[in-house]
Homo-oligomer: A and B are copies of this chain.
Amino acid sequence: MNRTEIQTLGEFGLIDRLTSGITPKDSTTIKGIGDDAAVLDHKSYRTLVTTDILLEGVHFNLEYVPLRHLGYKSAVVNISDICAMNGRPTQLVVALGISKRFSVEDIEELYSGIRIACERYGVDLVGGDTTASLTGLTISITCIGEAKKDDVVYRSGAQVNDIICCTGNLGAAYMGLQLLERERIASAGDNEQAQKAFEGKEYILERQLKPEARRDIVLKLGEAGIRPTSMIDISDGLSSELLHICKASGVGCSVYADKLPIDYETAAMAEELNMDVVTCALNGGEDYELLFTISQKDYDKILPLEDVSLIGYIQKAEYGCNLVTRSGNEIKLKAQGFDAYSE
């Protein structure tokens, strides 16, 4: 048998290959593979389903991530996927693989974080599976949500001339990760030294350790009478997600470097690390902000919404997907986001 290394395909290439030819047959399946969540038909409502798996040493490092934060984040990344379908998250199931290194109290800490996230987002923890593992900690969470039939927003609905919007600000979680990594090495367990290095950088740390799903924005969009034409959450970086939307919708895009929302702590940290802040905003993962497109007719409605930035617009497919730099040059967007296979 041939042996193709997985990194030659990458995560998305592997998924494409594994899922080619899979077509939903059950009458309740509206949308299968290929969006933030699957969509199931329950008459006037749609049920949304999404799953994420987090592995120790790949997605998290317990040297600097407290278990409670890890639990919280594990739940939030799934809740975020339901929000990205314009849905209401309702239930969560949790599967854990736990090595002997962990005590009951450790797992209770992890669970307490999951439970806090569930309470905050009004989600019920309804089931799961726990088992021993030989190595490390594995967390696999599936989140269920619902939306009215006509409210579900896919990646594939972006139309030429639509306005591209994103919530909050970008690159902060990635800068928080860089800071944690640096201090883990520099302070080598000296907590006092690490604490001092973290001063004035609380925001980017929190964005990395305790991200939030933008359910608030989903609610505000609903109140404002705006139904996005497409939506995705930013887990792998803005570039990667924009390319997902453009590919699924069969369109191109222009985004403007000077429109990208960036917090001052993110900018300061990038400067300190001698990194380009726009690159961090484009490719830094784990922000869990929402990226969405709206019709031009909703322009007046979107303006009053706090914490939403208009960063570009949808172009014809022939134009491609481009970043317009501050100096007016156009650079082709590439997906250089977080990909566990390429690291």
Contacts and interface: CB of A to CB of B under 8 A. Distances in A.
Nearest to A102: B6
Contacts of A105: 1-4
A38 B127 contact: yes
Interface residues of A, number: 80
A107 B19 contact: no
Nearest to A111: B18
A216 interface: no
Interface in A109-164: 111, 115, 122-136, 138, 140, 142, 144, 146
A107 B14 contact: yes
B93 A49 contact: yes
A271 interface: no
Nearest to A142: B142
B90 A125 contact: no
Contact of A15 (B3, B52, B115, B130): B130
A291 interface: no
Contact of A140 (B2, B124, B140, B343): B140
A327 interface: no
Contacts of A127: 32-33, 37-38, 49-51
Nearest to A27: B90
A24 interface: yes
A12 to B, nearest CB: 9
Contact of A138 (B14, B49, B53, B111): B53
Interface of A: 1-6, 8-9, 11, 14-15, 17-19, 22, 24-26, 28-29, 31-33, 37-38, 40, 42-43, 45, 47, 49-53, 55-59, 90-91, 93-98, 100, 102-105, 107-108, 111, 115, 122-136, 138, 140, 142, 144, 146, 340-341, 343
16 contacts: A3-B105, A6-B102, A6-B107, A11-B131, A14-B107, A19-B125, A24-B126, A25-B124, A28-B146, A32-B127, A49-B93, A51-B127, A51-B140, A56-B134, A97-B138, A132-B340
